[in-house]
């Protein structure tokens, strides 16, 4: 017994000595702070107090743990977080049917503090707050099928979030809907749509995501089978559009009514016939007639829908969006309500990026909001 006790004592002592002299293999994770401000931007700017904020950690894009906080009387919240180059954080708020989230928040090795600014808005059930600035339809003929991509730029020029009409049986509200032509297959969501928020049938696609003030870009594509030398497609517009643009790959002949033929558009991928119309009303039947089908396999430049959509978007749609998003910070009487809304959005982005101080931001935003209210009066 005594011998065993001595041996055990020596063993413990040896272990203590080893542990005391061993280097620390895993350093304590560095900690940082995310401070946030939430404001209600409907009818002016005021703190959004008492709102639940959820901060989700993402590691290499996968959601990990989440933390909760509540905004104080000044609309502020704070989280202590791990600083890790593989981690990013997203702050989310649900307010009266609208869902709002921050851009991904990351830390550099030298940073321990990040600031985030979240805007919330009062809700509206009035669909008239939405309009389509431009609706693109791009037709790409291939062997045995025609690929069609539709890209729409919605504008909500009010200071309220459109949350849809009456709740459905599942509690969700329908916000946007898009008709699908007979025979449409291989539906792909390319931008502004999430599978979790969509209901799809053979004839239409319904979205339940809210539409915040500003611009929202929607893009999707589908294929139509071709078994003859021609194809006729009638697309009844779900929304009025300030401009409707239809493009067709020159590998086949395209005619579109009631739109007017414009000059062809040349891209690195080829020449596209272009048809345009202004102030096209909801319910308008747009008739697309393709002939010269099927096209040879060698003429199909983009077999993958995602690659095709990316090419068209980059070549034809993004230049328009860049023009539409050009920051406007004028105060002249010629500004439209839309321009003022865009100016507010651009100013908000600059503030969130830390480019302008809070006092200057508040003063400039208040002036812009006053002008918007004057136009609405």
In this prediction, residue 344 has a pLDDT band, given cuts at 50, 70 and 90, of confident
- Asked if residue 210 and residue 165 are part of one domain, the reply reads yes
**By C-alpha distance, which of 149, 74, 161, 95 is closest to 316?**
149
Considering the chain, what is the average pLDDT of its residues?
81
13 domain-assigned? no
Query: Is the confidence at residue 187, as pLDDT, over 90?
Result: yes
Per DSSP, the three-state class of 357 is: coil
pLDDT at 181: 93
- Asked if residue 226 and residue 79 are part of one domain, the reply reads no
pLDDT at 81: 96
Contact (CB, 8 A) for 269 and 332: no
What residues contact residue 102 under an 8 Å CB cut-off, 6+ apart? 36, 90, 91, 92, 116, 117, 118
Instruction: Tell whether the torsion through CA atoms of 344, 345, 348 and 353 is positive or negative.
Output: negative
- Asked if residue 108 and residue 46 are part of one domain, the reply reads yes
Tell me the C-alpha distance between 330 and 343, whole Å. Answer: 8
Q: What confidence tens digit (pLDDT) does each residue in 354-377 have?
A: 777 776 777 787 777 767 656 555
- Asked if residue 295 and residue 264 are part of one domain, the reply reads yes
Domain with 71 in it: what CATH number? 2.60.40.1120
- Asked if residue 95 and residue 191 are part of one domain, the reply reads no
In this prediction, residue 110 has a pLDDT band, given cuts at 50, 70 and 90, of confident
Of 30-44, 114-128, 313-327, give the lowest mean pLDDT range: 313-327
Per DSSP, the three-state class of 133 is: strand
pLDDT at 271: 84
**How many structural domains compose the chain?**
3
Of 19-23, 122-126, 134-138, 208-212, give the lowest mean pLDDT range: 19-23
- Asked if residue 282 and residue 173 are part of one domain, the reply reads yes
In this prediction, residue 94 has a pLDDT band, given cuts at 50, 70 and 90, of very high
**By C-alpha distance, which of 283, 241, 278, 273 is closest to 259?**
278
- Asked if residue 62 and residue 150 are part of one domain, the reply reads no
3 domain-assigned? no
Which of the residue ranges 252-266, 320-334, 342-356 has the most confident prediction, judged by mean pLDDT? 252-266
Please give the residue range of the domain that contains residue 370. 337-376
330 domain-assigned? no
**Dihedral angle over CA of 113, 40, 346, 158, nearest 10:** 160
pLDDT at 355: 73
Asked if omega into 127 is within 30° of 0 (cis), the reply is no
In this prediction, residue 26 has a pLDDT band, given cuts at 50, 70 and 90, of low
Query: Is the confidence at residue 236, as pLDDT, over 90?
Result: yes
pLDDT at 80: 97
94 forms beta bridges with: 99
- In this predicted model, which residue has the larger pLDDT, 351 or 243? 243
- Asked if residue 136 and residue 111 are part of one domain, the reply reads no
Domain with 225 in it: what CATH number? 2.60.40.1730
- Asked if residue 208 and residue 146 are part of one domain, the reply reads yes
pLDDT at 144: 84
pLDDT at 9: 46
pLDDT at 301: 42
pLDDT at 313: 52
**By C-alpha distance, which of 328, 306, 282 is closest to 135?**
282
Q: For 255-276, b where at least 16 C-beta lie within 10 A, e where not — what string? A: ebeebeeeeeeeeeeeebbbbb
In this prediction, residue 121 has a pLDDT band, given cuts at 50, 70 and 90, of very high
348 domain-assigned? yes
Picking from 120, 150, 173, the residue at the C-terminal end of a domain is: 120
- Asked if residue 237 and residue 272 are part of one domain, the reply reads yes
188 domain-assigned? yes
- In this predicted model, which residue has the larger pLDDT, 9 or 280? 280
- Asked if residue 254 and residue 167 are part of one domain, the reply reads yes
Q: What confidence tens digit (pLDDT) does each residue in 188-233 have?
A: 998 899 999 999 999 999 999 999 999 898 999 999 998 889 999 9
331 domain-assigned? no
77 domain-assigned? yes
- Asked if residue 217 and residue 75 are part of one domain, the reply reads no
Query: Is the confidence at residue 295, as pLDDT, over 60?
Result: yes
8 domain-assigned? no
Helices (H), the chain: 2-21, 305-312, 318-324, 337-352, 358-376
| Whole-Å CA distances, 281 to 132, 135, 155, 239, 286 | 10, 12, 16, 7, 11
């Amino acid at each position: 017994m005594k011998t065993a006790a001595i041996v055990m004592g020596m063993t413990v002592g040896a272990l203590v000595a080893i542990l005391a002299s061993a280097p620390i293999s895993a350093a304590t994770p560095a900690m940082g702070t995310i401070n946030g401000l939430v404001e209600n931007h409907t009818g002016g700017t005021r703190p959004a107090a008492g709102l639940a904020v959820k901060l989700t950690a993402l590691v290499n894009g996968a959601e990990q743990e989440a933390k909760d906080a509540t905004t104080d009387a000044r609309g502020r919240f704070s989280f202590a977080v791990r600083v890790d180059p593989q981690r990013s954080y997203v702050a989310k708020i649900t307010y009266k049917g609208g869902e709002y989230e921050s851009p991904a928040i990351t830390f550099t090795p030298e940073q321990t503090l990040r600031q985030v600014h979240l805007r919330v808005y009062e809700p509206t059930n009035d669909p008239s707050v939405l309009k389509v600035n431009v609706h693109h339809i791009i037709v790409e003929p291939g062997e045995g099928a025609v690929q069609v991509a539709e890209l729409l730029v919605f504008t909500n020029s009010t200071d309220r979030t459109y949350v849809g009409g009456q709740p459905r049986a599942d509690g969700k509200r329908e916000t946007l809907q898009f008709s699908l032509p007979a025979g449409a297959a291989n539906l792909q969501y390319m931008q502004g749509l999430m599978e979790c928020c969509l209901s799809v049938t053979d004839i239409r696609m319904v979205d339940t995501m809210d539409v915040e003030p500003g611009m929202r870009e929607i893009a999707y594509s589908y294929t139509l089978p071709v078994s003859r030398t021609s194809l006729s497609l009638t697309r009844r517009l779900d929304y009025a559009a300030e401009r409707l643009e239809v493009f067709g790959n020159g590998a086949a002949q395209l005619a579109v009514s009631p739109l007017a033929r414009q000059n062809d558009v040349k891209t690195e991928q080829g020449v596209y016939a272009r048809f345009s119309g202004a102030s096209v009303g909801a319910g308008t039947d747009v008739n697309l007639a393709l002939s010269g089908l099927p096209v040879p396999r060698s003429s199909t430049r983009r077999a993958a829908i995602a690659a095709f959509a990316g090419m068209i978007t980059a070549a034809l749609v993004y230049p328009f969006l860049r023009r539409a998003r050009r920051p406007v910070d004028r105060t002249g009487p010629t500004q439209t309500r839309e321009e003022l809304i865009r100016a507010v959005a651009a100013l908000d982005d600059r503030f969130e990026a830390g480019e302008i101080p809070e006092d200057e931001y508040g003063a400039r935003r208040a002036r812009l909001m006053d002008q918007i209210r004057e136009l609405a009066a």
